[in-house]
Amino acid sequence: MPELPDVAGFQRYLQATALHQRIRGSHLTDRRILDHQSPQMLARRLKGRKIDSARRRGKWLFAELDSGEALGLHFGMSGELDYAAQKSDWPDHARLILDFDSGYRLAVISRRLLGRTRVVEDIGTFAARRELGPDALDEDLGREAFQRRMQGRRGSVKSALMNQSIVAGIGNVYSDEILFQAGLHPRRRMDRLDGEDLSNLYRVMRRVLRTAARFGGDAREAPAGWLLGGRSADTPCPRCGHELESGTVAGRTAWWCPRCQQRPDD
Ligand SMILES: [Zn+2]
Protein backbone atom coordinates (compact mmCIF):
# COMPACT_ATOMS: atom_id res chain seq x y z
CA MET A 1 0.00 0.00 0.00
CA PRO A 2 1.47 3.34 -0.94
CA GLU A 3 2.71 5.20 2.13
CA LEU A 4 4.46 8.56 2.40
CA PRO A 5 7.72 7.46 0.70
CA ASP A 6 5.82 5.95 -2.24
CA VAL A 7 3.65 9.05 -2.58
CA ALA A 8 6.83 11.16 -2.49
CA GLY A 9 7.92 9.12 -5.54
CA PHE A 10 4.61 9.87 -7.30
CA GLN A 11 5.01 13.53 -6.40
CA ARG A 12 8.43 13.68 -8.08
CA TYR A 13 7.09 11.78 -11.08
CA LEU A 14 4.19 14.19 -11.50
CA GLN A 15 6.50 17.17 -11.16
CA ALA A 16 8.93 15.78 -13.73
CA THR A 17 6.24 15.05 -16.32
CA ALA A 18 2.87 16.74 -16.17
CA LEU A 19 3.34 20.36 -15.08
CA HIS A 20 2.33 23.47 -17.05
CA GLN A 21 0.37 21.72 -19.81
CA ARG A 22 -3.25 22.55 -20.43
CA ILE A 23 -5.72 19.76 -19.67
CA ARG A 24 -7.81 19.32 -22.82
CA GLY A 25 -10.12 16.84 -21.19
CA SER A 26 -10.35 13.96 -18.79
CA HIS A 27 -11.69 10.41 -18.92
CA LEU A 28 -13.06 8.64 -15.92
CA THR A 29 -13.26 4.88 -16.51
CA ASP A 30 -14.77 3.94 -13.16
CA ARG A 31 -16.75 6.36 -11.06
CA ARG A 32 -16.20 4.29 -7.93
CA ILE A 33 -12.88 6.05 -7.39
CA LEU A 34 -14.68 9.37 -7.02
CA ASP A 35 -14.66 10.78 -3.54
CA HIS A 36 -18.02 12.52 -2.98
CA GLN A 37 -17.95 14.27 -6.35
CA SER A 38 -19.91 13.75 -9.54
CA PRO A 39 -18.10 12.81 -12.77
CA GLN A 40 -19.43 16.01 -14.39
CA MET A 41 -18.10 18.17 -11.57
CA LEU A 42 -14.69 16.54 -11.73
CA ALA A 43 -14.47 16.96 -15.52
CA ARG A 44 -15.60 20.58 -15.40
CA ARG A 45 -13.07 21.60 -12.79
CA LEU A 46 -10.19 19.93 -14.64
CA LYS A 47 -10.90 21.07 -18.18
CA GLY A 48 -8.70 23.90 -19.43
CA ARG A 49 -6.57 23.95 -16.29
CA LYS A 50 -2.84 23.41 -15.88
CA ILE A 51 -1.05 21.65 -13.04
CA ASP A 52 1.29 24.15 -11.38
CA SER A 53 2.88 21.92 -8.77
CA ALA A 54 2.42 18.78 -6.69
CA ARG A 55 2.02 18.71 -2.92
CA ARG A 56 1.80 15.84 -0.49
CA ARG A 57 -0.13 15.47 2.74
CA GLY A 58 0.56 12.02 4.12
CA LYS A 59 -0.81 9.48 1.68
CA TRP A 60 -2.65 12.12 -0.36
CA LEU A 61 -1.05 13.70 -3.40
CA PHE A 62 -2.44 17.02 -4.60
CA ALA A 63 -1.93 18.28 -8.14
CA GLU A 64 -2.31 22.03 -7.64
CA LEU A 65 -4.23 23.60 -10.50
CA ASP A 66 -3.85 27.11 -11.90
CA SER A 67 -7.46 27.73 -10.80
CA GLY A 68 -6.33 27.62 -7.16
CA GLU A 69 -8.05 24.26 -6.68
CA ALA A 70 -6.26 20.92 -6.47
CA LEU A 71 -6.83 17.43 -7.79
CA GLY A 72 -6.48 15.12 -4.79
CA LEU A 73 -5.28 11.57 -5.37
CA HIS A 74 -5.22 8.78 -2.80
CA PHE A 75 -3.72 5.54 -4.01
CA GLY A 76 -5.43 3.08 -1.68
CA MET A 77 -3.92 -0.38 -1.57
CA SER A 78 -2.07 -0.16 -4.86
CA GLY A 79 -1.79 2.63 -7.33
CA GLU A 80 0.56 4.54 -9.54
CA LEU A 81 0.81 7.18 -12.25
CA ASP A 82 1.72 6.72 -15.90
CA TYR A 83 2.63 9.58 -18.23
CA ALA A 84 2.87 8.77 -21.93
CA ALA A 85 1.92 9.94 -25.40
CA GLN A 86 -1.84 10.07 -25.98
CA LYS A 87 -1.57 7.62 -28.84
CA SER A 88 -0.17 4.92 -26.57
CA ASP A 89 -2.67 2.52 -25.00
CA TRP A 90 -4.11 3.28 -21.63
CA PRO A 91 -2.50 1.07 -19.00
CA ASP A 92 -4.57 -1.69 -17.38
CA HIS A 93 -6.67 -0.44 -14.48
CA ALA A 94 -6.34 3.22 -15.51
CA ARG A 95 -9.22 4.94 -13.71
CA LEU A 96 -8.65 8.59 -14.54
CA ILE A 97 -6.81 9.90 -17.60
CA LEU A 98 -5.90 13.54 -18.16
CA ASP A 99 -5.23 14.52 -21.78
CA PHE A 100 -2.88 17.49 -22.17
CA ASP A 101 -2.60 19.84 -25.13
CA SER A 102 1.04 18.69 -25.43
CA GLY A 103 -0.09 15.36 -26.90
CA TYR A 104 0.67 13.52 -23.68
CA ARG A 105 -1.61 12.05 -21.05
CA LEU A 106 -1.39 11.17 -17.38
CA ALA A 107 -3.14 8.01 -16.22
CA VAL A 108 -4.01 7.32 -12.60
CA ILE A 109 -3.86 3.56 -12.06
CA SER A 110 -5.66 1.83 -9.23
CA ARG A 111 -5.65 -1.94 -9.41
CA ARG A 112 -7.97 -2.75 -6.58
CA LEU A 113 -10.18 0.29 -6.92
CA LEU A 114 -9.52 1.48 -3.43
CA GLY A 115 -7.95 4.71 -4.60
CA ARG A 116 -9.86 7.96 -4.33
CA THR A 117 -9.88 11.17 -6.30
CA ARG A 118 -11.64 14.52 -6.29
CA VAL A 119 -11.01 18.18 -6.96
CA VAL A 120 -10.79 20.15 -3.73
CA GLU A 121 -11.12 23.88 -3.31
CA ASP A 122 -8.59 24.13 -0.56
CA ILE A 123 -6.15 21.49 0.69
CA GLY A 124 -6.11 22.82 4.26
CA THR A 125 -9.90 22.76 4.56
CA PHE A 126 -10.08 19.30 3.05
CA ALA A 127 -7.39 18.02 5.45
CA ALA A 128 -9.18 19.55 8.44
CA ARG A 129 -12.48 17.97 7.43
CA ARG A 130 -10.79 14.58 7.10
CA GLU A 131 -8.94 15.12 10.37
CA LEU A 132 -5.66 14.61 8.56
CA GLY A 133 -2.68 15.50 10.72
CA PRO A 134 0.44 17.18 9.35
CA ASP A 135 2.53 15.27 6.84
CA ALA A 136 5.09 13.26 8.82
CA LEU A 137 7.89 15.12 6.99
CA ASP A 138 6.27 18.55 7.27
CA GLU A 139 9.01 21.11 7.95
CA ASP A 140 6.84 22.69 10.63
CA LEU A 141 6.44 19.40 12.50
CA GLY A 142 9.25 19.70 15.02
CA ARG A 143 10.13 17.29 17.79
CA GLU A 144 8.08 19.12 20.40
CA ALA A 145 5.01 19.36 18.20
CA PHE A 146 5.31 15.64 17.47
CA GLN A 147 5.56 14.84 21.18
CA ARG A 148 2.54 17.00 21.94
CA ARG A 149 0.50 15.19 19.30
CA MET A 150 1.57 11.75 20.52
CA GLN A 151 1.24 12.37 24.25
CA GLY A 152 -1.81 11.05 26.05
CA ARG A 153 -2.74 8.60 23.29
CA ARG A 154 -4.03 5.19 24.21
CA GLY A 155 -3.23 1.86 22.66
CA SER A 156 -0.05 0.64 21.03
CA VAL A 157 2.70 2.79 19.61
CA LYS A 158 2.15 1.15 16.22
CA SER A 159 -1.48 2.20 16.13
CA ALA A 160 -0.51 5.77 17.11
CA LEU A 161 2.04 5.95 14.29
CA MET A 162 -0.54 4.72 11.78
CA ASN A 163 -3.21 7.12 13.05
CA GLN A 164 -3.45 9.64 10.19
CA SER A 165 -4.91 12.32 12.45
CA ILE A 166 -1.74 12.40 14.59
CA VAL A 167 0.74 12.47 11.72
CA ALA A 168 -0.17 11.57 8.16
CA GLY A 169 1.63 9.23 5.81
CA ILE A 170 2.68 6.18 7.85
CA GLY A 171 1.05 2.80 7.26
CA ASN A 172 1.77 -0.79 8.18
CA VAL A 173 5.17 -1.22 6.51
CA TYR A 174 6.82 2.02 7.60
CA SER A 175 5.48 1.87 11.15
CA ASP A 176 7.24 -1.51 11.44
CA GLU A 177 10.43 -0.05 9.98
CA ILE A 178 10.42 2.98 12.29
CA LEU A 179 9.74 0.86 15.38
CA PHE A 180 12.41 -1.65 14.40
CA GLN A 181 14.99 1.11 14.01
CA ALA A 182 13.84 2.80 17.22
CA GLY A 183 14.12 -0.50 19.13
CA LEU A 184 10.48 -0.33 20.23
CA HIS A 185 8.09 -3.28 20.14
CA PRO A 186 4.99 -2.47 18.03
CA ARG A 187 2.72 -3.55 20.93
CA ARG A 188 4.40 -1.21 23.37
CA ARG A 189 1.76 0.92 24.98
CA MET A 190 1.76 4.64 24.40
CA ASP A 191 1.27 5.37 28.11
CA ARG A 192 4.52 3.52 28.84
CA LEU A 193 6.62 5.79 26.61
CA ASP A 194 8.45 8.68 28.22
CA GLY A 195 9.69 11.92 26.68
CA GLU A 196 13.00 10.37 25.72
CA ASP A 197 11.28 7.49 23.90
CA LEU A 198 9.11 9.94 21.95
CA SER A 199 12.05 12.16 21.13
CA ASN A 200 13.96 9.16 19.82
CA LEU A 201 10.89 7.98 17.91
CA TYR A 202 10.60 11.38 16.23
CA ARG A 203 14.25 11.35 15.18
CA VAL A 204 14.01 7.83 13.76
CA MET A 205 10.67 8.55 12.02
CA ARG A 206 12.13 11.54 10.19
CA ARG A 207 15.30 9.70 9.24
CA VAL A 208 13.49 6.60 7.96
CA LEU A 209 10.89 8.55 5.97
CA ARG A 210 13.40 11.01 4.51
CA THR A 211 15.67 8.20 3.40
CA ALA A 212 12.80 6.11 2.03
CA ALA A 213 11.29 9.12 0.24
CA ARG A 214 14.57 9.50 -1.63
CA PHE A 215 14.33 6.00 -3.05
CA GLY A 216 10.60 6.34 -3.64
CA GLY A 217 9.69 3.54 -1.26
CA ASP A 218 11.17 0.76 -3.43
CA ALA A 219 12.10 -1.97 -0.91
CA ARG A 220 14.89 -3.23 -3.20
CA GLU A 221 16.65 0.10 -2.72
CA ALA A 222 16.47 0.03 1.07
CA PRO A 223 19.78 0.44 2.92
CA ALA A 224 21.39 -2.58 4.55
CA GLY A 225 20.11 -3.21 8.05
CA TRP A 226 16.53 -2.19 7.29
CA LEU A 227 13.59 -4.46 8.00
CA LEU A 228 11.91 -3.40 4.74
CA GLY A 229 11.83 -6.16 2.16
CA GLY A 230 12.72 -8.84 4.74
CA ARG A 231 9.31 -9.02 6.36
CA SER A 232 8.96 -12.79 6.43
CA ALA A 233 9.63 -15.80 8.64
CA ASP A 234 12.36 -16.96 6.25
CA THR A 235 14.41 -13.80 6.64
CA PRO A 236 16.43 -13.28 9.81
CA CYS A 237 16.70 -9.95 11.59
CA PRO A 238 19.03 -7.81 9.44
CA ARG A 239 20.79 -6.57 12.58
CA CYS A 240 21.21 -9.55 14.91
CA GLY A 241 20.24 -12.59 12.82
CA HIS A 242 17.45 -13.68 15.20
CA GLU A 243 14.26 -15.07 13.68
CA LEU A 244 11.64 -12.36 13.14
CA GLU A 245 8.23 -12.58 14.76
CA SER A 246 4.89 -11.41 13.46
CA GLY A 247 1.44 -10.86 14.86
CA THR A 248 -1.64 -8.71 14.54
CA VAL A 249 -1.21 -5.24 15.99
CA ALA A 250 -3.79 -2.52 15.41
CA GLY A 251 -5.54 -4.80 12.93
CA ARG A 252 -2.49 -5.25 10.71
CA THR A 253 0.26 -7.85 10.43
CA ALA A 254 3.30 -6.43 12.14
CA TRP A 255 6.86 -7.80 11.97
CA TRP A 256 9.49 -7.29 14.65
CA CYS A 257 12.69 -8.72 16.07
CA PRO A 258 12.16 -10.08 19.59
CA ARG A 259 15.81 -9.44 20.43
CA CYS A 260 16.29 -5.90 19.01
CA GLN A 261 12.92 -4.47 20.04
CA GLN A 262 12.01 -4.00 23.70
CA ARG A 263 9.09 -6.13 24.78
CA PRO A 264 5.84 -4.25 25.53
CA ASP A 265 6.11 -4.76 29.27
CA ASP A 266 9.80 -3.91 29.68
ZN1 LIG B 1 17.37 -8.33 15.83
CA-CA distances (angstroms) from residue 89 to 94, 101, 107, 153?
10, 17, 10, 49
What pLDDT is attached to residue 197?
Answer: 95
Is 223 noted as a catalytic residue in this protein? no
pLDDT of residue 221: 86
Q: Residue range 201-228: average pLDDT?
A: 91
What's the chain's length in residues? 266
Distance from residue 123's CA to the centre of ligand 1 (Å):
41
What share of the chain has pLDDT > 70, as a percent?
98
Segment 236-252 shows an average pLDDT of 95
DSSP string for 84-126: EETTSPPPTTEEEEEEETTSEEEEEEETTS--EEEEES-HHHH
- pLDDT tens digits along 54-100: 999 999 999 999 999 999 999 887 889 999 999 999 999 999 999 99
Distance separating alpha carbons of residues 4 and 174, to the nearest angstrom: 9
Spacing, Cα 179 to ligand 1 middle (Å): 12
What pLDDT score was predicted for residue 219? 79
Q: How confident is the model at residue 146 (pLDDT cuts 50, 70, 90)?
A: very high
Catalytic (active site) residue 69: no
Kindly report the average pLDDT of the chain as a whole number: 94
- Predicted structure pTM score: 0.94
Is residue 59 annotated as part of the catalytic site, yes or no? yes
* Non-local CB neighbours of 61 within 8 Å, separated by 6+ positions: 7, 10, 11, 14, 54, 55, 72, 73, 74, 75
Write out pLDDT tens, residues 109-137: 988 767 799 999 999 999 999 999 999 99
Q: What is the pLDDT of residue 141?
A: 97
pLDDT digits (tens, 9 = 90+) for 216-243: 778 788 899 999 988 888 889 999 999 9
Is residue 4 predicted with pLDDT exceeding 70? Answer: yes
- Radius of gyration over every alpha carbon of the chain, rounded to an integer in angstroms: 20
Catalytic residue among 2, 5, 134, 186: 2
- For residue 263, report the distance from its CA to the centre of ligand 1, in Å: 12
